[in-house]
Structures are given as structure tokens and as C-alpha cells.
Structure 1
Amino acid sequence: MRTGIGKTAAVAAALVLLLAGCGDGGGDSASAGGRTKVTVAALPLTDSAALYLARDRGLFTQEGLDVRIQPVQQSIQALPALAKGQVDVIASANYVTFLQADEKGTLDLRILAEGVRVAPHMMDVLVPKDSDIRTVADLAGKKVAVNILNNIQSLTLDAILDAKGVGRPVYRQIAFPQMGPALERGQVDAVHAVEPFDSAIQGELKARVLLDGGSAPVQSLPISGYVTTRTFAAEHPKQAAAFRRAIEAASKIAAQDPGAVREELPKYTKVTAGQAASIGLPAYPAATDVAQLRRLTELMKKQGLLTKSLDPATLLVK
């Protein structure tokens, strides 16, 4: 079942969309009764499953929304477009990047809904099958690939390693689609990969799982969400609320019926049905939990990814 790293990389690359042309959808009204058109930038990851479930099951339509989805390879690619109003929402937005942008003043962030939380084997630290790295302690000083430096992957992995009392690795920024080739060529000693790339790398390279990236103490930690700007939330409160209701309804479906997610994944990631049946899924919360978000902001502050304490309740769209 765990096959197709080349296909996964090609698909991810094909899904990258230059957002410069997205500006025509951000501020239009689709009816005289008010704005219904919402443009959403989204990653082709399991994190975005609720977005596509809401679309395909008519949940957005029921809320009177016309949601247009623009695929991107990294949520950070869409950050400038969000700040400029060229897109209205970013789905599967990694919280670390966007909370940092808010603190720096480059983005006036608001959180519409939670995306996913950490679950067992939704991401793994992988090493070559013949690697000399046998235990997590062996990672100290080794080169480990993460999608973005100083972000959710290094944050969670460092927390796990700190809890085990072992040394940290040296991180290298490598996009998910390129992680497998980088590991195969020996450019890095290990990769911290999320699904569906996790399964693809294991299948293609027979890579070993050294560490479950969803283990203690980061289990159930919120890692991504549906974010917008204060301006959008203030100017379009009904649309923001409608979008949140649709996402939360879809997340409830995803939480209660993982099979619905596995059925949805091949529609927007090009992951095969066989691969979708076996990959590790994250947890899909049906509602935003401030206490869980506070766990994240406190961990970020502890690791120096935020310079001051932040109450995430101040960022939630009511």
C-alpha cells in the first residue's frame, strides 16, 4: 500500500498555483443580498479533508457560500495573498507560521476554525532502511529534513526529544515532495514527513520509522487551522460564521467516519484509494478548543518561537 513517492511529488508539484492571479475572487459579491464568494488557499494534505468534505457534501452551499479552492504547496506561500486580501481564507494553515506573522505585525490574524490535531503516525521521523541511526538518541546532531524551518515539525519533534532527555538534530528545510529523494541521496540523515508523503517514502525507499511524530507529549496538539484576517472577519461576519459552521460540520463527519476522509483524499491529493486506506490520519476536532490552542502557544513561547505570551482566545472569530 505504501508506494508512489515519485507520483506523490509530481502531484504535489502540479498542485502548486501562483496566487498572483487569485485577486479577482477575493472581494466580489455573488449576489445582491451580500457576499457569498469565498476564496480558500489549501494544501493537498490530510489537514484539508474537512474543506473538501464540506465542498463535496454541499455544506458550503447549505450555508449560502460559493467557496473557490486554490491549491498551494506550502501555506506560507499564500500568506502574502491573505494579507493583501487576494484570498480570504487559508486552510490547513500551520499555526506556528501564522502566529509568528501576527506577532511580527505582518498579518492581523484571526482563526475561523481548527484544522487538525496531532494523532499517532500522522507524521513520522524516517531513516533509510540501512541507517546506523537506531534510536532517537542517535538523532542528536544529525541532519533532519523538515518542510519549513522553526515550525510545527521542529517544534513537536524537539518537544518529544526534550521529554526523552536526548539531544536535538540539525534541521534542513526541504519541501515534502523532495524529502524522499533527499533521503535517498544521503543529503539528510532522516526526514520528518507528514502523510501522504510519509507512506510514500516508506513504500518507495523501504524507509524505517524511527519515531512516531504524534507521540507524547504532543499528542492532540493543534497544528493547523482555517485562518483569515481581522479585516475579513470584521467586514464579513455572517460569511465567516457560515464558513466556520460548514467546516465544523465537516470535521465532525471526519472525526466520526474516518472512511469518509479516506474516500475524499484521492479526489484532491491524487493519492490512490489503496494508499488512502492505510495512511495515518490526524485528529479532526469538531470545535475549536482554546485550552488546546493555549498548549501550542505556550510551547512556542517555551521554545522561543514566540517572544511573548499570547492568549489565542483573542484571535478566535466568534
Structure 2
Amino acid sequence: MKVRRRVAAATALLLAAVAGCDSGTSTGSDSGLEKDTVVVAALPLLDVAALHIAMARRMFQAEGLTVKVQPVAQSLAALPALQNGQVDVIAGANYVTFLQAHAQGTLKLKIIADGAAQAPRFMRLLVAPDSPIRTPADLAGRTVAVNILNNIQSLTLNEILTAEGVDPSTVKYRAVPFPLMDKALAGGDVDAVHTGEPFGTVIERRLKARMVVDGGGPPVTGLPVSGYVSSAEFVTKYPRTAAAFQRAIEKAQALAAADRSAVERVLPSYAKVDEQTATALTLPGYPAAPDAARMRRLIGLMVKQGLLKADIDPAGLIFTPAAR
């Protein structure tokens, strides 16, 4: 499905998500920022742990910022709000979707900070305990659930299958939202689910599901998954504000990468997992900053698999603030 169609379908969700949320146009008196309030649309994913760490540890306040978080179910649902200025930043934005939006002219994308990168077992392909599927080769002709068709899950799984000598075109993908994957697998609606955390751990526990493919293993380990994105208009109009937000997030990203307990402490507050589950989850990578080489790798895979028609120079997408 084209990005424009998905944007149209998400408009109704968007209106509910941003209702009552002001755009934060107030000016900081002493901070030197163009405005001191940033509205962030955020998904309830492990990808955005740094956002909540930064809020809990007053890292934004240290930069002179007030951050208002507006929860959304899908990052795409917040795209129209980003375009019209109701939202300043989308946290946990799926890079595949937003790179497509940029390529199609729907959004002039700017990446402010990285969110998550692939790590072993962060994504995983699971089957029922009595499934005959034992190896990647057994997936030929089978139906695999993914959260969104033609996106990061199928992109990475296709690359893994190719490395294993399996033709990805023999796999049938079906869109199933993450929270419904356990029911789809238990009911036999799909043969396997390719899911991410925290859903992978929950499904393994609830159904005694088996992992057949490590969706974060080689050859996709380290591949960028999501980030904190905005528009070129926002960073051009509010460069010091964007830079302050970037500094706070990157400090929190470094803390998330270095101290697992910092992530575990914030997860129950926004990701709907209890403290016990939080300690069992497999975390993604938390890159310190966006990296053009890693983004180029993702873009190359998208072009290879037909998710982008042409190459994009990632260096022009990454927000680089002027020296303070």
C-alpha cells in the first residue's frame, strides 16, 4: 500500500490522537530557544525508552525544554499532525515508512535522533509449539504475520531468508497488528508470526511458542529500525529548539545503551508491561546518534527489495545543528 493511502486511512486516528494538544509556541525567556515546548507523538514501544528516560531524569528541563507526549498507536497516524504543526517530533517513527514518505514528497524528512537498531532476538519469527516448521526452509509456502506489509519486518526477514538460501517470494505475508498476533497464531490463522518486543516475549510465554528465525541476527544486526523524526520546516524554523531536543535524547540514548536498568525502570510507565516482564525483554540497540553509513545500508536494502524506486542520500536527512 502506498504511503499516501496509508496517510489518508490514518487521518481519523490522528484527529483523536492530537485533540487538545497545543503546538507549544511559547518562547523561552532565558533559554535562548525559539520555543520552549515540544509536542512529541510517541509509540508505546521499547524504541522510545530514551524519551521517557529523558523526561524522568529532567534532561529536557536541563536544556530549557518542556516536552508534551501524545501517545499514538502507529507513527503513520501522526504524520498529518507533523505536517500541519500540531506535532513537532514523532518518536519511534518507522524509518521504512518515513523514508518512503520522503521519497514520494509527502514529507521533507529530518531525522533528529536514532531510536532503535536491530539486535539479536529483538525481532523473532515464532511458531506454535507443535508446528512442523523447524528451519527457515520450512517457511516456503507458509503464511507469516507482520505488523505492516512491505515494511521493516518483511524487509529484514527477506534478507535473512536469502542468506539462508530460501527464496523470500515463496513466503506469504499477512498484516496482523502486534497485539493480535498471539490470537492469530493460536487460532491457526497464520503459520508463523514475525514480531518484536515486548510481544515476542509475551507470545513465547503465553503460547510456549518456538523461535525459528532470530529476526535481529545476521545479516541485519545493527540495521536502523526507528528514530525521532521531524520535518525540514520545523528544524529550519526552530533550529536551537531542535538541537536542544537532540542533545537531551542523545544523552538518554547513551544511558539506555549503557544501563539496562534505566530502560527497565521506565517501561512499565508507558509500554504496558509489568516490572517482571520488563526484566525479561530483549532490548534493541540504542545508537548514540544517527549514522549516515547505517542509514545507507537500510536504504540500499529498500531499493534492492523495491520499497524505494531510487537511492536517497541519507546525509541530507540527518539534522546537524550549527555549533552553539
CA displacement at 1:27 relative to structure 2: 4.7
Answering whether residue 56 of structure 2 is matched by residue 56 of structure 1, we say yes
Q: Work out whether residues 41 and 71 of structure 1, in 8 Å CA contact, stay in contact via their aligned partners in 2.
A: yes
Q: Which amino acid aligns with 2:230?
A: T
1:26-65 equivalences under 5 Å are 26-29=23-26, 31-32=28-29, 34-65=34-65
Alignment match, 2:242: 240
SS at match of 2:111: strand
Quick one: distance in 2 between partners of 1:60 and 1:141? 50
**1:251-287, CA deviations, whole angstroms, 9 ceiling, x for partnerless residues?**
0001111111112111111211111111100011112
Quick one: distance in 2 between partners of 1:71 and 1:87? 11
Answering whether residue 269 of structure 2 is matched by residue 267 of structure 1, we say yes
Number of equivalent positions: 303
Alignment match, 1:216: 218
CA displacement at 1:167 relative to structure 2: 2.5
SS at match of 2:90: strand
Q: Which amino acid aligns with 1:190?
A: A
SS at match of 1:26: coil
Answering whether residue 21 of structure 2 is matched by residue 19 of structure 1, we say no
Q: Which amino acid aligns with 1:258?
A: R
Alignment match, 2:3: none
Q: Work out whether residues 28 and 64 of structure 2, in 8 Å CA contact, stay in contact via their aligned partners in 1.
A: no
**1:210-243, CA deviations, whole angstroms, 9 ceiling, x for partnerless residues?**
1110111100011101000011010000010001
Quick one: distance in 2 between partners of 1:52 and 1:46? 10
Answering whether residue 294 of structure 2 is matched by residue 292 of structure 1, we say yes
Alignment match, 1:198: 200
Quick one: distance in 2 between partners of 1:140 and 1:116? 30
1:99-138 equivalences under 5 Å are 99-138=99-138
**Relative to structure 1, is the Cα distance of residues 203 and 30 closer, same or farther in structure 2, using a 3 angstrom cutoff?**
farther
Q: Which amino acid aligns with 2:143?
A: K
CA displacement at 1:79 relative to structure 2: 1.5
Alignment match, 1:184: 186
Alignment match, 2:143: 143
Answering whether residue 167 of structure 2 is matched by residue 167 of structure 1, we say yes
Q: Work out whether residues 18 and 70 of structure 2, in 8 Å CA contact, stay in contact via their aligned partners in 1.
A: no
TM-score, normalised by the number of residues in structure 1 = 0.92
**1:46-105, CA deviations, whole angstroms, 9 ceiling, x for partnerless residues?**
101001001101100001111011111111111122122211100111100000001001
Q: Work out whether residues 141 and 167 of structure 1, in 8 Å CA contact, stay in contact via their aligned partners in 2.
A: no
- The percentage of aligned residue pairs carrying the same residue is 54
CA displacement at 1:30 relative to structure 2: 5.1
Q: Which amino acid aligns with 1:99?
A: L
**Relative to structure 1, is the Cα distance of residues 242 and 31 closer, same or farther in structure 2, using a 3 angstrom cutoff?**
closer
Alignment match, 1:13: none
Single out whichever of 243-252 and 283-292 deviates more from structure 2. 283-292
Quick one: distance in 1 between partners of 2:166 and 2:113? 35
**1:30-55, CA deviations, whole angstroms, 9 ceiling, x for partnerless residues?**
54564111111111111010010011
Single out whichever of 80-89 and 98-107 deviates more from structure 2. 80-89
Quick one: distance in 2 between partners of 1:31 and 1:65? 8
SS at match of 2:297: helix
Q: Work out whether residues 254 and 284 of structure 1, in 8 Å CA contact, stay in contact via their aligned partners in 2.
A: yes
Q: Which amino acid aligns with 2:46?
A: T
**Relative to structure 1, is the Cα distance of residues 314 and 45 closer, same or farther in structure 2, using a 3 angstrom cutoff?**
same
Alignment match, 1:79: 79
**Relative to structure 1, is the Cα distance of residues 260 and 266 closer, same or farther in structure 2, using a 3 angstrom cutoff?**
same
Quick one: distance in 2 between partners of 1:82 and 1:244? 17
Answering whether residue 302 of structure 2 is matched by residue 305 of structure 1, we say no
Q: Which amino acid aligns with 2:146?
A: V
Structure 2 residues without counterparts, runs of 5 or longer: 1-13
Quick one: distance in 2 between partners of 1:27 and 1:308? 36
TM-score, normalised by the number of residues in structure 2 = 0.90
SS at match of 1:55: helix
SS at match of 1:211: strand
SS at match of 2:22: helix
Alignment match, 1:11: none
SS at match of 2:226: strand
